[in-house]
Chains A and B, each alone.
Chain A
């Protein structure tokens, strides 16, 4: 185990050095949003995008968007920020140089603004925690949180369905995003009622849903969590909006975008770091995406890639200052049901993940790859995942994608899934405390086999380095190059006098070597 973690750290180290020298357009937009640039301009384009694009076109973004916002407002006080930045960006070379004292003063002013904004953000987090503390959590202590999705495309319909799901026993509501939002290099603005296979993640949609869930939580006496996706080209912005609107969790993976959305790896590594810094600050539980590996590759053969990736994700999360309690490691119940003894093999995997990360809320995903159109069998199949989840004490369980690849779950599909899960959790409440598997049986042998293969994979990854390893398709059967994929043109090297007052706050507990690995234990997650 110690060896496996060392290898993962070794693999991530080079990447972290890269991250510390670079920034991205998404990170700069996030800084501007924190500094109050949250609106949208003509035709709905977010102001943060307009400003950052201007600065990028003027080739001055490497000093940091915050710096230029400060300069612009100083040069044209009282003007609206877009116009002010436009003026500055038009001829940055004509801007009179600041004396060192003026420069320092400018930065101090912006730091004070950022601190005030961060304090406000922190207050919202406290408000969320306070409500959560005052209410029941989950069905009973130790039961996985029942997680269901809504995806109507219309935030107001989503609210209706989420409310019904909460009344039926859901502990977590995920609003699935509109197809391909991850590839948009901006976050749409305002409430939305038209989506495609899901609902756009926007700050206003977050607010509307959280407000509805607050109300239903109070009514039920049980806290209903809200989650969304900090993935794709806007990881840090979504993380910031989620923090501001009191979301509880975010899907957030250090490598998912690279492998499954073909987003450039330099971009993703930088963005995941900043987004995770925000999650650590706002005590948002992240859910990593290892379940995806075993929906593309064979679940039985690729199980070790899940473990290896979890260890990599753990390292990156620790480097971003995240405590174990906030890292929801993902995996799933995916072995082909046509095979024998899959239940034992799923037990082996679920127990191993649970034991590897004892303080983390493990995120357990349901079968999807082998789902067919038969809803009756689908429920039976999902119930097996419920049994493994309660027995092995998974932290968060997505209850079945009963109609995967057909249509979104119907109200009644969600209802039956919640009813069945409640039954299984109740019926098998103490099963896990009572049973032990044979020390040399199928389960134990399977665990050793998977873990040994995971270590062997990490040896290779550590030797090659993270970026080269991804280039060789070590994860998810997918090869990606360092300069391929979407969003590379949004990555830039920081200037020596790069300024990011938000990052300074987020990194304030960082030691010179990066965050202490494996040590921090604050936060509100559950073991």
Chain B
């Protein structure tokens, strides 16, 4: 366990605890409304409350920008977030080590599940072109990447994974209103368990509101948030697959001038 490290929000001076808030109250603009806004902040436990702005946001709505100070503090040292670091191989090298260690292509199936039609995320990872100059999985010689696109039912995704004997399944959810992403993810895990492919497959969850911790809680192997590059996912799958087969990562060639990246990943709880 790490050392105690107490922190609180920092505005202008260290330890000042300053927080800025903005919110709407469903009442017309008035001095009384302004006082109500101050009371909201005070009830949240803030002191030194300053209602910096009150605007009429419609006849019956007031918009506020409020500052205040919090006196809470927390021990940063006590926070645990699962992260696993791997060496990150450049494009050609990753193909080579996959060939050396597995002697076959790694099969990955990807889809946007449920009613989601936002394929931006899955396309960025899967498509040939990739994202931000980083090639997608389709481009890798040693990956067989199958992108099912949008609005795929969890069950259909599981069937496809079964059919092609996928090593990994990549799921993207962009729409997260009312926790739609979690419901669909749970449905997928359930379908995979029923089909008895849950244990032997690597399950990866991605999307702008997805983090590794949530993915683990939902039963996935890993979660990838915004800014993830295809090479992060590709390297993760390679290492995870080795680990799944009970093989320690063999000595890896040095990455030729490529900085190692931190890839989030962890064992299933």
Chain A interface (Cβ < 8 Å from any Cβ of B): 163-165, 167-168, 179-180, 183, 196-197, 260-262, 295-296, 298, 369, 372-373, 405-408, 410-412, 415-416, 419, 477
CB distance B177 to A411 under 8 Å?
no
- Tell me which of A262, A372, A405, A412 contacts B22 (CB under 8 A): A412
Chain A nearest CB: distance from B38 CB in Å? 17
B78 at the A interface (CB under 8 A): no
Q: Pick the residue among A164, A261, A412, A477 that contacts B60 (CB under 8 A).
A: A164
Complex contact B120–A179 (CB within 8 A) = no
Is residue B63 within 8 Å, beta carbon to beta carbon, of the partner chain? Answer: yes
B177 — which chain A residues lie within 8 A by C-beta? 196-197, 407-408
A183 to B116, CA, bound (A): 12
CB distance from A367 to the nearest CB of B (A): 13
Which chain A positions have C-beta within 8 A of B123?
A: 296, 477
Q: Which listed residue, A298, A405, A419, touches B55 by the CB 8 Å rule? A: A419
- Give every chain B residue within 8 A of A412 (Cβ-Cβ): 22-24, 57, 63
**B125 → chain A closest CB, angstroms:** 14
Chain B, 90-108, contact with A by CB distance < 8 Å: what is the 0/1 string?
0000000000000000000
**B 116-132 to A, binary, CB cutoff 8 A, 1 in contact else 0:** 11111001000101000
Q: Report the minimum CB–CB distance from B124 to chain A (whole Å).
A: 10
Q: Which of B215-229 contact A (CB under 8 A)?
A: 226
| Neighbour of A167 across the interface among B59, B63, B149, B151, CB < 8 A | B59
Q: Which residues on the A side are within 8 Å of B207 (C-beta)?
A: 405
Cα of A186 to Cα of B119 in the assembled complex, Å: 25
How many whole Å from A414's CB to the nearest CB in chain B? 8
> Chain B 155-188, CB within 8 Å of chain A: the 1/0 string?
0000000000000000000111110100000000
Can you give 25 contacting A-B residue pairs, CB < 8 Å?
A163-B58, A164-B60, A165-B58, A167-B59, A168-B57, A179-B117, A179-B175, A179-B180, A196-B178, A197-B175, A260-B117, A261-B117, A261-B151, A296-B119, A369-B120, A373-B208, A405-B118, A405-B176, A405-B209, A406-B176, A410-B24, A411-B57, A412-B22, A419-B55, A477-B127
Residue contact A372 to B58, C-beta cutoff 8 Å: no
Chain B residues close to A by CB (< 8 Å) = 22-24, 55, 57-61, 63, 115-120, 123, 127, 129, 149-151, 174-178, 180, 207-209, 226
Chain B residues with CB below 8 A from A260, complex form? 117
| In the complex, residue of chain B having the shortest beta-carbon distance to the beta carbon of A418 | B57
A412 to B58, CA, bound (A): 10
Residues in A with CB closer than 8 Å to B115 are 179-180, 196
In the bound complex, do residue B61 and residue A411 qualify as a contact, i.e. CB atoms below 8 Å apart?
A: yes
Report how far A498 CA is from B24 CA in the complex, Å: 57
A267 vs B150: C-alpha distance in the bound complex, in angstroms?
A: 20
Q: A296-B123, A412-B22 are in contact. Are A197 and B58 (CB under 8 A)?
A: no
Q: State the CA gap A295–B180 with chains docked (Å).
A: 22
Shortest distance in angstroms between A494's beta carbon and chain B's nearest beta carbon? 31
**Cα distance, A261 to B119, chains bound together (Å):** 11
Q: Contact check, B176 vs A411: say whether CB atoms are below 8 A apart.
A: no
Q: In the complex the two chains form, what is the Cα distance from A408 to B95 in whole Å?
A: 42
Shortest CB distance B52–A (Å): 14
Whether A183 and B151, one on each chain, are in contact in the complex, defined by CB atoms closer than 8 angstroms, is yes
On whether A197 and B57 interact (CB within 8 A), knowing A296-B120, A296-B123, A405-B174, the answer reads no
Which of A164, A369, A407 has most chain B Cβ within 10 Å? A164
Return B14 CB to nearest CB of chain A, in Å: 22
Closest 4 pairs (CB-CB, A-B): A164-B58, A180-B115, A415-B57, A167-B58
Contacts known (A405-B208, A412-B22); A168 close to B175, Cβ less than 8 A = no
Which residues of A have CB within 8 Å of B127? 477
A406 touches B209 (CB 8 A): yes
Cβ of B120 and Cβ of A295 under 8 Å apart? yes
Q: Roughly how many angstroms separate A196 CA and B114 CA in the complex, as a whole number?
A: 12
- Contact status of A406 and B24, CB under 8 A, knowing A167-B58, A179-B175, A296-B120: no
Residue of B nearest to A406 (CB): B209
Which of B61, B176, B180 has the most chain A CB within a 10 Å cutoff? B61
Supply 16 further A-B pairs (C-beta < 8 A) apart from A165-B58, A262-B151, A419-B55: A163-B59, A167-B58, A179-B180, A196-B178, A197-B177, A261-B151, A262-B150, A296-B120, A372-B208, A405-B118, A405-B175, A411-B57, A411-B58, A412-B24, A412-B63, A415-B57
In the bound assembly, the distance between CA atoms of A271 and B207 in angstroms comes to 34
Give CA–CA (A407, B209) in the complex, Å. Answer: 10
Contacts of B59 in A (CB 8 A): 163-164, 167
CB distance from A304 to the nearest CB of B (A): 16
